[in-house]
Amino acid sequence: MKKTFVDNFLWGGAVAAHQFEGAYQEGGKGLSIADFMTLGSHETPRELTDAIEADKYYPNHLASDFYHHYQEDIKLMAEMGFKAFRTSIAWTRIFPNGDETEPNEAGLAFYDRVFDELLKNGIQPVITLSHFEMPINLVKKYGGWSNRKLIDLFTHFAYVCFDRYHEKVKYWMTFNEINNQTNYLSDLSVYENSGIKFSPEISPAEKEQLMYQAAHYELVASAKAVQIAHTIDPTLQVGCMLAFCPIYPASSKPEDILFAQRAMDTRLYFGDVHVNGYYPNWLKAYFEEKGIKLDITPEDLTILQKGTVDYIAFSYYMSFMAEYTDHDDYREYQDLRPNPHVKANDWGWQIDPIGLRYSLTWMMNRWHKPLFIVENGLGAYDELTTDHQVHDQYRIEYLRNHIEQMKKAVVEDGVDLLGYLPWGCIDLVSASTGEMKKRYGFVYVDADDYGKGSMKRYPKDSFYWYQKVIANNGSDL
């Protein structure tokens, strides 16, 4: 058995274009969903406006201004010893409206510059094609992923990216946290994932029907993208990307156990389809029972079968607990409870390092594919001292505890793990709240929730700690 991680283990960090790049109207970029989302907070959800209103603040417009700081940022990543860096390609930089035939050369050239800079520094880019930012035109004109037309538009975008960058990028992901939209009671989750804005009159049953339909089109688009990538270059590795939150039963009561199991199945069926190439039986039975009728063609089923993924990427932040009450539907899991055995961060996200080991082995046993942790980390308030330091011992502790469990999964459980890319390695805008003060980074970015500040970068204490971890390949944490 291995004593530690493989030599080419991909240590690094992760971000997403719309939360990090800023420059939302430069280089011919079009407007995306994220450009219409106002600042929120833990208590107040972000508003999804139809037009950019002068008296509102839109944090993604400026974000961390990576667009103008990429050389400096990549230098900092190299200093930490990064082997890989995950970001996304903003769809709107390549196709500003999403439905053009010809791509925007200035957008393509920007990512060439970023990828070249990374490779020059010995860092391989790991790329998500769609991370919560479809062109707003596709939302307005086609109703986002509720429309089958999106399959062709997305796969054209995917084709252009694979074709252009296949010599620079080996690891790809199709849709970020594709399974987040199963939380169809959260309008934000569904909007971010599929560009569907629910009308106020819509019933929960209609929401559910719409969610499953949009998810089906996305799954077909993803499978098609996998096939396209392999045709262009058979060495490309294309994965799915799931939000993985284990759901524990609240007790050993059989009802709780069945409830928790079904809640996890419902949230993770996306992985089954991505990996197996077909819908699981329980879901087909559920569709029938609920009268959910989807537009699924025989050709779709062949595409799903032929476009199974090469690996499974996932985010891990927290776990949940499910308790069955007799008015619950076994598949209705929206009302998950906090687990009294674990603590939470300031935004209520439960901190559960053992849950990471559980997740890794759960996925290994179910899907038998290489796994890739492409998000993990602690959102916390940081304080910049007058001499520009951040003493973030709490972050070091969080990451150390999670890496320890990840190591056990690799060394003791035999999990095939490609790498570890903690989230928001350089501070960025929070996806759920739009805040800047919910920080994850090893590097502090001097900007507040309104983008005010010098945008200067300052390494935190965790920067030097992570640098050592990477240098000794995780043998000394």
Q: Which positions are catalytic?
A: 375
And the tokens for 362?
A: 């759960």
Give the nearer residue to ligand BGP in terms of CB position, either 303 or 351: 351
Q: Minimum distance from CB of 338 to ligand BGP (Å)?
A: 17
Give the nearer residue to ligand BGP in terms of CB position, either 95 or 423: 423
Question: Secondary structure of the chain: what % helix, strand, coil (to 5)?
Answer: 40, 15, 45
Q: Which of 29, 224, 369, 438 binds ligand BGP (CB under 6 A)?
A: 438
Binding status of residue 430 toward ligand BGP by CB under 6 A:
yes
And the tokens for 467?
A: 């640098």
Give me the amino acid identity at 398: Y
Q: Minimum distance from CB of 86 to ligand BGP (Å)?
A: 10
What is each CA distance from 370 to 96, 164, 308, in whole angstroms? 34, 26, 13
Give the nearer residue to ligand BGP in terms of CB position, either 410 or 447: 447
Binding status of residue 431 toward ligand BGP by CB under 6 A:
yes
**Phi, psi (rounded to 5 degrees) for 89:** -95, 120
Neighbours of 442 (CB within 10 A): 29
Binding status of residue 16 toward ligand BGP by CB under 6 A:
yes
Q: Which of 176, 179, 194, 462 binds ligand BGP (CB under 6 A)?
A: 176
Binding status of residue 237 toward ligand BGP by CB under 6 A:
no
68 membership: H or E segment, kind and range: helix 66-80
Instruction: Using CB under 6 A, count the residues that bind ligand BGP.
Output: 14
d(CA 226, CA 308): 7
107-136 positions binding ligand BGP, by CB under 6 A:
none
Contact yes or no for 87/17 (Cβ under 8 A): yes
Q: Which of 35, 117, 177, 382 binds ligand BGP (CB under 6 A)?
A: 177
Q: Which of 92, 124, 237, 432 binds ligand BGP (CB under 6 A)?
A: 432
Q: Minimum distance from CB of 344 to ligand BGP (Å)?
A: 13
Contact yes or no for 319/350 (Cβ under 8 A): yes
Residue with tokens 């029972």: 289
Binding status of residue 359 toward ligand BGP by CB under 6 A:
no
And the tokens for 31?
A: 């407007």
Give the nearer residue to ligand BGP in terms of CB position, either 42 or 168: 42
Binding status of residue 319 toward ligand BGP by CB under 6 A:
no
Q: Minimum distance from CB of 313 to ligand BGP (Å)?
A: 11
Contact yes or no for 357/407 (Cβ under 8 A): no
Q: Report the chain's terminal Cα–Cα distance, integer Å.
A: 20
Q: Which of 85, 175, 423, 466 binds ligand BGP (CB under 6 A)?
A: 423
d(CA 259, CA 321): 10
Give me the amino acid identity at 55: D
Neighbours of 308 (CB within 10 A): 19
Give the nearer residue to ligand BGP in terms of CB position, either 41 or 261: 41
Question: Taking contact as CB under 6 A, which single stretch among the options 24-32, 194-202, 210-218, 430-438 is the one that binds ligand BGP?
Answer: 430-438
277-316 positions binding ligand BGP, by CB under 6 A:
315
* DSSP conformation class of 345: -
Q: Minimum distance from CB of 184 to ligand BGP (Å)?
A: 16
What is each CA distance from 401 to 139, 246, 396, 410, 477, in whole angstroms? 41, 17, 8, 15, 9
d(CA 325, CA 327): 6
Binding status of residue 462 toward ligand BGP by CB under 6 A:
no
Cβ-count burial 287-304 (b if 16+ within 10 Å, e if not): beeeebeeebeeebeebb
Give the nearer residue to ligand BGP in terms of CB position, either 73 or 192: 192
Question: Taking contact as CB under 6 A, which single stretch among the options 68-76, 161-169, 227-235, 426-434 is the one that binds ligand BGP?
Answer: 426-434
Binding site for ligand BGP (CB under 6 A): 16, 19, 176-177, 243, 315, 375, 379, 423, 430-433, 438
